[in-house]
Amino acid sequence: MDYEEGDMSELTSMMNIGKEMARKLAAVGIDSSEKLLESGSKQAFIKLKETYPQVCLVHLYALEGAVQNVEFNSLSESKKEELKEFSDFLKR
C-alpha cells in the first residue's frame, strides 16, 4: 500500500493533479508522472472516460496542463480548441 501512496503523491506533485484525479489515473493504470507523460493527455483522457464517463473537458485541460507543466487555464487558445474538438469527437 505504501508503494501506491508514493505513486499517488508523485502524481499529485504534477500541475493540476489533485488527489481525486491521481486516484482515478492510478485506477486506469496511469500511476506515475512518467506514465502520464508517456501516454499524453488525450490517451489518459480516453482511459479515464472508459472508467469514469462523467469526466469532462476540464479534466482533459487539466491533464494537458500537467503534461505541459502549466496551469490548465494558461493553455493556449489553439490548444484548448484542439482539446475541445477531441472531446467533442469522443462524445459521438
pLDDT tens string, the chain, 92 residues long: the values are 334 445 577 999 999 999 999 999 999 999 999 999 999 999 999 999 999 999 999 999 999 999 999 999 999 999 999 999 999 999 88
CA 9 to chain centre: 15
16: left (phi over 0), alpha (psi -120 to 50) or beta: left
Report whether 11 contacts 33 (CB < 8 A).
yes
Taking the model in full, what pTM does it have?
0.90
Nearest partner of 37 among 59, 78, 7, 66, judged by Cα: 66
Other residues' Cβ atoms within 10 Å of the Cβ of residue 32: 16
